[in-house]
Amino acid sequence: MENVVLVIHLILALCLIGIVLLQRSEGGGLGMGGGGGAVSSRAAATALGKLTWLFAIAFIITSITLTVIAAQNSGSSSVLDRLGVEAPAADAGSDAPADGLGDLLPPTSSDSPLVPPRAE
């Protein structure tokens, strides 16, 4: 089910991109593009405009559907639990934390700095 909705979603995205690129520029926000003619309060709804709205609404519906499906498929378990991967056991005698962050923590006072021997 999720794969079917995902394929439909991708097809809608490509169609929406194509329809938007086919439309004539009416803005002139960058000083380019068409527009000419009388300025009216509302532009006439063309077939491409209606098709754009149709694809946009269908795209939003498939987006929400994919979100709902993903939320239903997610459980309280983590990804590692579903894969069957176990966390590595920490050594009992080491000073490193059990969560594997030993290399990320600052050195303790018991750590001696690496100082080269003095040549006399």
What is the total residue count of the chain? 120
Give domain status of residue 54, yes or no: yes
Domain coverage including residue 18:
1-23+47-72
Q: What is the mean pLDDT of the chain?
A: 75
Q: What's residue 27's pLDDT? A: 64
> Tell me: the pLDDT tens digits for 6-55?
999 999 999 999 999 988 776 655 555 555 555 543 455 688 889 999 99
Q: What's residue 10's pLDDT? A: 97
Give domain status of residue 40, yes or no: no
- The structural domain count of the chain equals 1
Give domain status of residue 95, yes or no: no
Give domain status of residue 117, yes or no: no
Residue % of the chain over a pLDDT of 90:
32
Q: What's residue 36's pLDDT? A: 52
Q: Please give the Cα distance from 65 to 9 (Å, whole number).
A: 10
Give domain status of residue 65, yes or no: yes
- 99 compared with 77, residue with greater pLDDT: 77
pTM above 0.75, yes or no: no
Give domain status of residue 115, yes or no: no
Q: What's residue 6's pLDDT? A: 95
Q: Please give the Cα distance from 89 to 9 (Å, whole number).
A: 43
Q: What's residue 108's pLDDT? A: 72
Q: What's residue 41's pLDDT? A: 38
> How is residue 90 written in tokens?
């920490």
Write the CB contacts of 65 (distance below 8 Å, at least 6 apart in sequence).
Answer: 5
Give domain status of residue 114, yes or no: no
Give domain status of residue 57, yes or no: yes
